[in-house]
Homo-oligomer: A and B are copies of this chain.
């Protein structure tokens, strides 16, 4: 690990720095004449500690200006030769490696009959996971906040009916147990990406986690949010790019396909895209879905509603079941070009049990 220290460097600064290095099993090599560039090397004859927090521990020291190269202190999210692709399985779906899958459903759960109608339609079109918000994060206190526990019941019913796995958002650490009793995949939304208490609880639930990128989160912040889950021993995290906030409003957000491609190179975790929130308008959902997969995404999450004008939230960006079938058709063709495979709904329509974690290789 190569570090730049801040000038001027006091005696106590240096003591603190060297103490931490000793504690973590590093030798300190000073590289330049002012003593501000140092290289930390694993002390010879010692087993490497392999503690993933080493990089952050040094970054946090007041006298460290920057970590220039952190190759010696991998964090748990990092792609390494030994850890190339984590495949996260959720029901019949699998995300990562050569596996691609589609998540679809309404923004919010509204009525049981409607939910089951949508579930059947998206299953028929190729989705393997049903999305639907029971607890909705809303900008205004006067907006519809979701059906809560009743919404969870409807989701459970939809799973029983269609065999689709369920992903739904959890907002409050006190709700995690209740939501995890129904959901096969727990969604942490963009507005909650920095909610450490929530990340802690979803990690503890042992369920797979769908973590959405904050609307202005850097890649490092996004990966460290995932690290909050991984560090607590839950390694089934799917990252979701859903658009970053830009300066123009012709699209709701800017789908950051460069970050999708970059993430596939630096982390072993699967990465999916949410073209609906990025687009904000249904006519842009298909091209953004295609762009996301072409950039390397391991899946899509799409808002679908049979009569979007009646939806109680995000109506402008929901596509019809027929449009979703078109998206699924394009997805199938696109991933085939790369030698990847789109997961199909289980043939019999029964609930597939959520399997134990799998990591590749």
Contacts and interface: CB of A to CB of B under 8 A. Distances in A.
Contact of A311 (B62, B197, B243, B245): B62
A121 interface: no
A308 interface: yes
A216 B216 contact: yes
Interface string A150-181: 00000000000000000000011110000000
B37 A291 contact: no
A361 interface: no
Contacts of A288: 257-258, 261, 295
Interface in A209-256: 215-216, 218-221, 224-225, 227-228, 231-232, 243-251, 253-256
A196 B291 contact: no
A309 B13 contact: yes
Interface in A235-289: 243-251, 253-262, 264-265, 278-279, 283-284, 287-288
A52 interface: yes
Contact of A246 (B53, B256, B265, B278): B256
Interface of A: 2, 4, 6, 10, 12-13, 16, 31-33, 37, 39, 52-53, 55-57, 59-60, 62-63, 68, 137-145, 171-174, 191-192, 194-197, 215-216, 218-221, 224-225, 227-228, 231-232, 243-251, 253-262, 264-265, 278-279, 283-284, 287-288, 290-296, 308-313, 315-316, 330, 333-334, 337
17 contacts: A2-B32, A53-B141, A56-B143, A57-B142, A140-B224, A140-B227, A141-B231, A142-B227, A172-B173, A192-B194, A195-B195, A245-B247, A255-B257, A260-B291, A265-B283, A291-B294, A334-B337
